[in-house]
Amino acid sequence: MVGRQAPVDRYNFVGIIFFILGLGSLLPWNFFITALDYFQYKLNQTSHVSINGTEAIAKDEFHFSNWMALLSQLPLLLFTLLNSFLYQWIPEKVRIAGSMVVMMLLFVLTAALVEVKMSPQNFFSVTMATIWFINSFGAVSQGSLFGLVGLLPQKYSTLFLSGQGMAGTFAATAKLISMANATDKETSALAYFITACFGMLIAIVCFLTLPYLEFASYFLNKNKQADCELEKKTELLQLEKNGGQDNTKLAFISVDNAEIGAGKLKTTEKPSVFRVLKKIWLMALCIVLVFTVTLAVFPAVTAAVKSAAVDKNWGDFFIPVCCFLLFNVMDWIGRSITSYITWPGENSCLLPVLVLLRFVFIPLFMLCNIEDHFYLKPLFKQDAYYVVFMVLFALSNGYLVSIIFCYTPRKVLPEEVETAGALMTFFLALGLSVGAGLSFLFRALV
């Protein structure tokens, strides 16, 4: 099978499948953050209390967006590490399909809770548990899919990443459509989460279809056979090393035919993690700082900004459009720009400078028109300021993330690329978790 010519991906069907799988891998995070208004509606219900015989209204404050960000990113950090051990013990099909099925069932639970009357405290607890588990299984699924798509030509990794980039836009668009066609928040939320359920179902069907497609099957089985041959040849070399004339002859016959793909059998030693980290430490630091800034204010601070317009209808659509939809579209454009422009260079000191400059967005968003200001007075009350800040914020996020991941493989040897990728995934999750933790501080300082 290794020697025969690769079949054709008819109608780019495998490419479409990996685009959908990429989109599905980030649906949980994007669907939950885009539905912030629904969750706040369910949680911030007023209750009547009596103070000195006078009836007053108390409002529950759960800091939902902060907790949601933190409990979404911590599982990503933990299960990204755990997945590096799970792949040895749990079959790939079980890890990916099983995780996606659980995520779909959790979306079904979230949709069902729309119609269930619960106290805000109980609803908050159940929702936080759902967010934790759905992101835990999402981390396992996403990490496994990255490994799977890596077995195919580079084009399919690009399509998978493009699908991930479109997940936020898909969620924001679904949110706007559900709002425009519903009469109240609960009906809108129900339609919205049902859309997520169907999205996950389509992703599961697409994944289960892959083994039956000749093109995908060729590359997946080809790499498995190559791994098997490599293991056998390693054993033969060990026999030759331990002695025995027959073993020596057998080993040398194996070595003569030991070239698999682009590599040689002699490069079987695993790359040193510390040696690779020494080469990419600056890229790793940059990716941590980029995502720290992003999660520190998005969505905990950015979604708290209110429109200054008098029109109530625009006020309802302001955050879905100017926060979530605008962020995801501009982030995707920023990632796409790197296909045409890669500036500054990989060794330029301007790259970390640009990363550090993004910290200015933290005070800028904190000084926007946030309704519940306690310590800071709004300086940028008009909607136009917020829109400009969001465009630059999202563009810089997408561009810097993309360019950092483009430059990282150039810093290491070919056999160290996989290790570098695993390390960068860990530092990406670390940046997200640190940013989510800091969001509590910045939201409290507003």
Q: Where are the domains of the chain?
A: 1-212, 275-446
Among 432, 386, 402, 429, smallest CA distance to 294 is for: 432
pLDDT given at position 269: 63
> Does the domain made of 275-446 have the CATH classification 1.20.1250?
yes
For the chain (length 446 residues), average pLDDT per consecutive 10?
Answer: 70 93 90 90 62 43 86 84 69 89 95 91 94 90 81 82 87 92 85 94 95 89 55 48 47 41 49 88 96 95 92 89 95 87 90 97 95 82 96 96 88 81 83 93 90
Residue 85 has a pLDDT of 66
Q: How far, in Å, CA of 204 to CA of 12, rounded?
A: 19
60 CB-near residues (< 8 Å, 6+ apart): 43, 44, 45, 47, 120, 121
C-alpha to C-alpha distance for 12 and 222, rounded to whole angstroms = 20
Architecture in CATH of 1-212: Up-down Bundle (1.20)
DSSP string across 361-374: HHHHHHTB-BSS-S
| CATH fold match for the domains 1-212 and 275-446 | yes
Among 361, 377, 378, which Cα is nearest to 308's?
A: 378
Tell me, what's the pLDDT at 243? Answer: 53
- First-to-last C-alpha distance (Å) of the chain: 62
Q: Which pLDDT value is given to residue 260? A: 41
According to the model, what pLDDT value does residue 262 have?
42
Q: What's the pTM?
A: 0.79
Asked if 327 and 30 count as a contact pair (C-beta separation under 8 A), the reply is: no
